[in-house]
Amino acid sequence: MAPAASTLPQKRKSDADGTPDDSVVQILPLGAGQEVGRSCIIVRYCGKTVMLDCGVHPGFFGIASLPFFDEVDLSEVDAMLVTHFHLDHCAAVPYVTGHTSFRGRVLMTHPTKAIVHTLLKDFVKVSKGGSGEGLYSERDLDAAMERTEVIDFHQTVDLDGIRVTAYRAGHVLGAAMFMVEVGGMRLLYTGDYSRIPDRHMPAADLPAQRPHIVVVESTYGVSRHLPREEREQRFVQRIHTAVARGGRVLLPVVALGRAQELLLILEEYWERHPELHGVPIYQASGLARRAISVYKAYIEMMNEDIKRAFTVANPFEFKHISHLKSAAHFDDSGMSRELFEAWCEDARNCVVIADFAVQGTLARDILGNPSEVMTRNGVKVPLRMQVDAISFSAHADFPQTSEFLDALQPPHVVLVHGEATEMGRLKKALEQHAAALNIPRALYMPKVTQPVLIEHRTERTAKAVGRLGEKAPAQGAAVRGLLVQSRGGARTLMHHDDLPRFTKLHPGRVVQRQAMPLHRPFSEVRLALEMMFEGTQGAGDLGRVDAAGGSPTKGGQILRIGDAVTLTYQPVEAASGASSGHAILEWCGGSDADMVADAVVAVVLQAAGQPPGLPAIEVQRHQALKAGDLEAVAAAELGIITALLNAQFGPARLDADQGLVFVEVNGQHVVINPKSGKVQCADAELRGRVERALERMHMALQPCDVSDI
């Protein structure tokens, strides 16, 4: 069975504000949910938010054409990824960057950015209409392009914890699919894609990494495209027939993408048929004319056929196609509509719908074979011209989508960018296909603003290298080493000694030192250490320093306690001639070494005699206990703890008014509250050692209960 998920919000999966917790991926269509247009998908996971595409709906105008941005807090969106330059995927970008709280990063490929700027300049003029007010201005567009970053195919960019990799989508020049990885969760967003190469574009890539979730277009549902050769043959024959009977042919197609594909087909056909050389072909889009220079510049992003042709001449230098000079006065849809109304009553003429026809458009209406159409002036006129649909749409059909998902094997598939009926058919067909092959897969087809919540438990993998990789551990056995993650996200497990070999990192060592005064001969201290710790051995001699800091004399010693602690004894000549000195402990910081060092300190303190002044304080405490003077008892215990801290950690100062003891150890300031047992110190390991020592001191000061003896 496929992992559990839902298309409705679940309170147990979310925080109080509706944001999913770190184990749930939320996919929220702000557009393109059971519709074609205004593609905009929000993905949330592990505190990160990504916006996939940001387009408008071709069937609506103004604010009504925008995605439902008010459903989210756009200030929380970390990144916007734009797949390609078609209006239904990019036209709302300047609105979001210039008129909302969005502050994230914007990414698209090089050719997409180049064409988007040109395309949206026209869109700004067209969207103003007669009112003079559009969704945004050219200044908003320029500002949006200024902050837009570019990404290459197969490049991975780290956006503060969001890893984004771009793959070829094959749809139009520069179109990308995006693999988004957050916290080990991988989601592939196809945008518009095609797995079949055409005249100028290669097929979409098949990512090497398996995604956990695929958000895939479903434009053509369960339909199957005709083979490319058959489509082209039918297309040119239809045009040739219409021209031969004296008719005109209208090809209303988007100015970028399919227009270039059809121009390449017509150019080749006209070249092979001299009888057609006197028949003009006009390209009536000023935008397409301006974009040709971009196509000429990015030949290396097209397929091998175009690259081979480029070695002879640039395929986009057309001989048989002219640009209609008056096109500068019309937008693309306006020109097509004007020509259609002028030609629709003549039966010799023909219109070929070569791309996907969105609901609510004239192209969709005339495919229903009406006997008459309504002009823009509100007049009904007869429709006598021939209407044909020959799809050159570079969207995946059912076989492409099914094979693509079988190759990727994602456990979750979210369908977007499709009309509800076709999307439903595709969902059912893919579910039946997965069940027949016993593939665990869950499919979802959310409406606009309807979230999909998918539980995800991250599995992390790491490559063992160096001495850890020499021998495979037994199944289920523990492996101990350093886990290193590169900026690209690759994780490597290695022995700490191999760190400089496989990385640019070098291990560091934190050396701890602690000095304690000794009040008895060092031989007694050494004997106690040898009895307590097996393997205690001498490691050399040191000089002897007099109390005034004079020249060294013999008598100093170095002991090694196991592999963790080195103890250095420095004798000091006292004026009285009594035996005294300092024991200096040194070890590399770490949990194991710190534990051994604390035990050594306890043994040294016990064997080295009481610190000066401590017996007198103990007498005061005893007398206060007999008298029942609790304040005096507390004051004496503060003094005892201060003396013990001084002996173990170095100079300790008691502030009786505050009830605090201040100690400085190797430059680290420690503030101790003996009454509450709280210790303040920036060094967590040192703080832990002082807390443990303080706990032992409190235990030593507790009175014994002898009532049961």
Query: In angstroms, rounded to a whole number, what is the distance separating the alpha carbons of residues 352 and 386?
Result: 8
d(CA 513, CA 242): 96
Residue with tokens 């895939």: 216
212: DSSP letter = S
| Residue whose C-alpha is closest to residue 301's, from 457, 391, 183, 197 | 197
- Kindly report the number of other CB atoms within 10 A of residue 494's CB atom: 22
What are the backbone dihedrals phi and psi of residue 358, each rounded to the nearest 5 degrees, phi first?
Answer: -80, 145
* Residues near 288 by beta carbon (within 8 Å), at least 6 away in sequence: 255, 256, 259, 260, 332
- Are 24 and 456 spatial neighbours (Cβ–Cβ below 8 Å)? yes
SS3 165: strand
DSSP H or E segment with residue 119: helix 110-128
Helix axes 398-408, 420-436, angle to 10 degrees: 50
Angle between helix 110-128 and helix 286-297 axes, rounded to 10 deg: 170
Of the candidates 451, 359, 448, the one whose C-alpha atom is nearest the C-alpha of residue 68 is: 448
* Catalytic hit among 86, 200, 212, 395: 395
CB within 8 Å of 683: residues ≥ 6 apart: 668
Size of the chain in residues = 709
Give the phi and the psi of residue 223 in degrees, each rounded to 5.
Answer: -70, 160
Q: Give yes or no for a contact between 415 and 422, defined as CB atoms under 8 angstroms apart.
A: no
Q: How many C-beta neighbours within 10 Å does residue 666 have? A: 14
Is 618 in contact with 632 (CB distance < 8 Å)?
no
Residue 683 near residue 669, CB atoms below 8 Å: no
In angstroms, the CA 494 to CA 482 distance is: 5
Contact 526, 555 (CB under 8 A): no
Token readout for 132 is 């003079």
SS in 3 state form for 328-357? HHCCHHHHHHHHHHHHCCCCCCEEEECCCC
- What angle is formed at CA 426 by the lines to CA 9 and CA 406, rounded to 5 degrees? 95
CA-based radius of gyration for the chain: 39
Tell me if 306 sits within 8 A of 200, measured CB to CB: yes
Mark whether 395 is an active-site residue: yes
Angle at 197 (CA atoms; ends 412, 425), nearest 5 degrees = 40
How many Cβ atoms sit within 10 Å of the Cβ of residue 690? 22
Residues involved in catalysis:
395
